Amino acid sequence: MSSATEPEVDFRTSPSEYRHWHFEVQPPRATVTMNVDPSGGLRNDYELKMNSYDLSVDIELADLIQRLRFEYPEVSVVVLTGGLDKVFCAGANIQMLASASHGHKVNFCKFTNETRNSIEDATDHSQQVWLAAVNGTAAGGGYELALACDEVLLVDDRSSAVSLPEIPLLAVLPGTGGLTRLVEKRHVRRDLADAFSTRSEGMRGQAAVDWRLVDRLSPASRFSELIDSRVANRAASSDRPANGVGLALTPLPRKIDGDDMTWSTVSVSIDRTTGTAEIMIAGPKTSQPATAADLANMGADAWLVSAARELDDAILHLRFNEPAVGTWVLRSSGDPTRVLEAESLFSGTDSDHWLVREVRLLWTRTLKRLDVSARTLVAVVEPGSCAVGLLAELVLAADRSFMLDGTWEDADESPPPATIMITSTNLGRLPMSNGLSRLATRFWGRDDAYAVAAATEGKELLAADAAAAELVTMTPDDLDWHDDLRLMVEGRQSFSPDAVTGMEANFRFVGPETMETKIFGRLSAWQNWIFQRPNAVGPEGALQRFGSGSRPEFDPRRV
């Protein structure tokens, strides 16, 4: 199989740079139209025909979803539709998948899953409901895009259909949660889901409604009326303010100097000899908004907004552009009282305000992205750290955590010892994909231990107290600190990255399963394996022979 060299990916964009999406706001509705530029792909060795997509299309979509949530409070319903005649979306571009590296394919699927999840998150938690107006063929990832919306409206024109043809045509799985959403979200019967997913031509018309594949059907002459009716119905139950003031998501400042990257509050330094990235998040340096109005006035410069956006950008940059950097060391710095001041918005009188809610949900999504990143996460708490509340989540998210017991003995002026503090933010305001807080996940099945840790809320804990509350893994003193941390990092680098990734994924998501954990844990694992099988990607495999006129040759053995 040929594999193209992947270009460096930049996830920062804005509507003035979009090549594939157009949106129009007419409150309470925003209409989002997919009209993919065939020559606007991430690489120039394939064309994005028939509204097929690659990562460049999804980067714009992810940005658009976020902007609608923050910048347009007056929008309570988003209508997603296709901009081509007879085509809604043809799904992921096959030529891109056939020629992409294995790592890029898997990362691409993970990012598209996160983007589809953000559509559902907007519907479920922002009360900005997404409706899919399927005005043409929706195949594969195109139907999966529609499935992420809360309602699927299909035009009845005798040609428009929905399908998941990946298994019969490409020997892979639908890559963005389609199988899971059929049975978990739309409650399609298992046998019907099996028949549908092995039928390349898909389903159209009343049969698609009868099988629960779409919600409503309308002839083309009345399709606009159907959309208008559903928009009015869904807008009536939303709490988004018709006269709210949006928060503009200004361009992210980022500077790359060799192996160092800096934003305004986040910095990354890569050590290629150890395959390690040090990620530092600085706490606020100035007073932070105490009310939703103050937050709106400060805008994207508010620490709660800038830190989350910059951490998200750092995670994505490292995921796609630094695949060999397998260990991320998470650090924090700053004044803990400033972090407490900033996050007090989440528990104050404005906690239910739409903008405060959006900022909290932004942190929730960013930390979820950290959770599902295929990297070893190591948290470090030392003198000068700011492991309180929001930034204590980094410690709770880590696979291992180190907290210095005491202070630096050989420093000219010994700083105060490191501390960690649990706040109400850690007790359920930022749930993981399993629906639990990271603290509750840490103590799954051990209610007594959870109660002990939760009872420390608001207390500054030294290393011994943090260890007693089981909030950190190791508490070396100054004498052992550097050796213990070095040995852990070196040991991690000596293991198979595949085995370590599988181990971490098993340990991170204990507790109840949700649709999200099934998509990331089951689908991602199977797709990762299938993308390496010759039946899919070999020289006679389905991805290589698709569109050539010759059928793939499959090894019939099941393993």
Q: Is residue 3 part of a domain?
A: no
When mean pLDDT is compared across 98-102, 137-141, 279-283, the lowest value belongs to: 98-102
Same domain, 354 and 502: yes
Same domain, 179 and 59: yes
The two beta strands, 21-26 and 29-34, are: antiparallel
Same domain, 37 and 164: yes
**Averaged pLDDT for residues 171-182:** 93
What is the C-alpha R_g of the chain? 24
CA 281 – CA 267 distance, rounded (Å)? 7
Mean pLDDT over the full length of the chain: 95
Count how many residues are written for the chain.
559
Q: What's the domain count of the chain? A: 2
Same domain, 200 and 283: no
Same domain, 281 and 156: no
Same domain, 82 and 209: yes
Is 50 exceeded by the pLDDT of residue 138? yes
Q: Is residue 500 part of a domain?
A: yes
Same domain, 385 and 440: yes
Share of the chain above pLDDT 70, in %: 99
**Averaged pLDDT for residues 365-385:** 97
Same domain, 324 and 443: yes
Amino acid identity of residue 111, one-letter, is F
**Confidence bin at 406 (pLDDT 50/70/90):** very high
Same domain, 203 and 282: no
**Confidence bin at 241 (pLDDT 50/70/90):** very high
**Confidence bin at 193 (pLDDT 50/70/90):** very high
Give pLDDT, residue 528.
86
Q: Is residue 521 part of a domain?
A: no
The model's pLDDT over 443-467, given as tens digits with 9 standing for 90+, comes to: 999 999 999 999 999 999 999 999 9
Is 80 exceeded by the pLDDT of residue 356? yes
Measure the CA angle with vertex 466, ends 390 and 373; round to 5°. Answer: 45
Give pLDDT, residue 1.
37
**Averaged pLDDT for residues 196-201:** 96
Is 50 exceeded by the pLDDT of residue 2? no
Q: Is residue 24 part of a domain?
A: yes
At 466, list the tokens. 């943090």
Same domain, 293 and 213: no
Range of the domain at 143: 15-235
CA 173 – CA 179 distance, rounded (Å)? 8
Is 60 exceeded by the pLDDT of residue 392? yes
CATH code (residue 362):
3.90.226.10
**Averaged pLDDT for residues 15-37:** 98
CA 13 – CA 249 distance, rounded (Å)? 10
CA 109 – CA 534 distance, rounded (Å)? 19
Q: Is residue 2 part of a domain?
A: no
Q: Print burial letters for 130-142: b (CB count within 10 Å at least 16), e (below 16).
A: bbbbbbbbbbbbb
Is 90 exceeded by the pLDDT of residue 509? no
Alpha-carbon separation of residue 113 from 224, 429, 462 (angstroms): 29, 22, 39
The model's pLDDT over 289-335, given as tens digits with 9 standing for 90+, comes to: 999 999 999 999 999 999 999 999 999 999 999 999 999 999 999 99
Number of C-beta neighbours around residue 447 at 10 A: 10
When mean pLDDT is compared across 8-22, 219-233, 539-553, the lowest value belongs to: 539-553
Q: Is residue 516 part of a domain?
A: no
Q: Is residue 523 part of a domain?
A: no
Give pLDDT, residue 4.
62
Is 90 exceeded by the pLDDT of residue 412? no
Is 70 exceeded by the pLDDT of residue 3? no
**Averaged pLDDT for residues 166-188:** 95
Is 90 exceeded by the pLDDT of residue 394? yes
Share of the chain above pLDDT 90, in %: 93
SS (H, E, C) 206-252: HHHHHCCCCCEEEEHHHHHHHHHHHHHHHHCCCCCCCCCCCCCCCCC
CA 101 – CA 95 distance, rounded (Å)? 12
The model's pLDDT over 38-64, given as tens digits with 9 standing for 90+, comes to: 999 999 999 999 999 999 999 999 999
**Residue closest to 109 by CA, chosen among 308, 320, 313, 309:** 320
Same domain, 288 and 338: yes
Q: What are phi and psi of 151, to 5 degrees?
A: -135, 145
The model's pLDDT over 64-119, given as tens digits with 9 standing for 90+, comes to: 999 999 999 999 999 999 999 999 999 999 999 999 999 999 999 999 999 999 99
Give pLDDT, residue 12.
97
Q: Is residue 502 part of a domain?
A: yes
Is 70 exceeded by the pLDDT of residue 204? yes
**Burial of residue 366, with CB atoms counted within 10 A of its CB: 0-12 exposed, 13-18 middle, 19 or more buried:** buried
Same domain, 329 and 431: yes
